[in-house]
Amino acid sequence: MSLLRSLRHLLARGARPRIESADRGPAPRRAADLLNNAAALHYRQGELPQAERAYREALQLEHNHPEACAGLGRLLQERGDFDAALALYERATQASDRAYAAAFHKSQILLARGALREGFKCFAGRPNRVFSKFRRHYKLHRGALPRDLRGRSVLVLSELTGIGDDLFFARFFPEVRRRGARLVFRCGARSIELLRGSDCADVLIESEDPGAPTGYALLAGDLPYALEIWNEAALPPPLALRPDEASAPDARRLLESSGPRPFVGLTWRAGTEPGPAGEWSPLSKSAPLDRLLQSIDRLGGTRFVLQRRVGEGEIDAGRRGCAHALVDLSDRTQHLKLTFALLASLDEYVCVPNSHMHMRIAAGGGCRILEPFPPDWRMEERGAATRWYPGSRVYRQGRDASWDPAMAALRAELAERV
């Protein structure tokens, strides 16, 4: 850390690595590496203009520097210049077969644009903390799976990013089993609690379990490419689940005793904690609660807070600006089966993308999805609909970070519903 602080101090004073000829000192590659590291440091601090300048200086020294291409591309992608970002990612991946970060960011744009074949191939380069852990125990399969898997086992490994991704990629399980395979899904205990009894897999095992003998082992996110599901007409529907028989009546009683219909569920934040100001944090999503409540005020009924880790004072502040009942059920979200039954029983669910959204969709309900900019690939690049979540609507934050058009569209559509 002291080295990073020293580097930042020098950069703040206008210092730049000195370029010398190969026979006198550091080569341009070394200087480009230093500039790329400086740019990454600026980016983590939210100093985006300085980061962009350092990335561009690195690329002047080495045109196809993989990390600088990926870093500058990510910055441009955050800004909404997707074509320029894609060109940088392609430069990096063509120059090096180890440009994993560039390949992953490239996949996000390609998938958002519906280029599924190339997009899912590049998706294999995604940052994955569990990859090295799993490959010590399994020979992970890359490429296409055989069309005939009769008599073989396929071990699908959850990437442990949450219940939402487990539910999302489980839509590809039926195709594995249709080919005759015995499907074993290794995932977390909470996913097993939700999936048990669903018949989506032959065997469910916990992540800590050493696993089962298998013919093939692969990460859940690699299923679309392995199954060669590359065109929109062949996309499987979301996994369908039913609420637990014991929890469904409890959920209905809880909702009905709280106020009149329509029952409207709300979550406005998801993922990890946001990074420094200005830094794009793809796993951190949020929308303004006060604006959300204003946009749904004409719908009437009762609002239910299903947000996990509610901040101090958030609910009270929301109630002050809400003309309708706002019922806090955030403490119930730790009970997974009850939460799933609640989501299945709502009349409307307005949310940012999160695990509750995937649960609601698995229960057969549609969502009104508030999507921060830049969008996740599953929300696609533009439009009010997405091929991945039929029956749901997407309301997009603008490139200028404004929620005004999205909230206006949400308010207008709910007014029509009334």
Domains of the chain and CATH, by start: 2-123 (1.25.40.10), 131-234 (3.40.50), 247-417 (3.40.50.2000)
pLDDT tens digit string along 315-354?
A: 887 777 677 778 999 999 999 999 999 999 999 999 999 9
Q: DSSP labels for 340-398? A: HHHHHH-SEEEESSSHHHHHHHHTT---EEEEPSSPPGGG-SSSS--TTSTT-EEEEPP
* pLDDT over 60 (residue 199): yes
Closest among 99, 125, 122 to 112, alpha carbons compared: 122
Q: What is the sign, positive or negative, of the torsion defined by CA atoms of 314, 315, 319, 324?
A: positive
* In the block, residue with structure tokens 């590049």: 122
The pLDDT-based confidence of 14 (bands split at 50, 70, 90) is low
* Per-residue confidence (pLDDT) for residue 272, from 0 to 100: 56
C-alpha to C-alpha distances, 152 to 62, 116, 140, 149, 317, nearest whole angstrom: 48, 27, 15, 5, 56
Mean predicted confidence (pLDDT) in 41-63? 93
The pLDDT-based confidence of 217 (bands split at 50, 70, 90) is very high
* In the block, residue with structure tokens 């039926």: 174
Helix (H, G, I), strand (E, B) or coil at 337: helix
Count CB neighbours of 44 within 10 A: 13
* pLDDT over 60 (residue 24): no
Mean predicted confidence (pLDDT) in 358-362? 97
φ, ψ (nearest 5 deg) of residue 206: -75, 160
Is the pTM here over 0.95, yes or no?
Answer: no
Distance, CA of 298 to CA of 404 (rounded, Å): 17
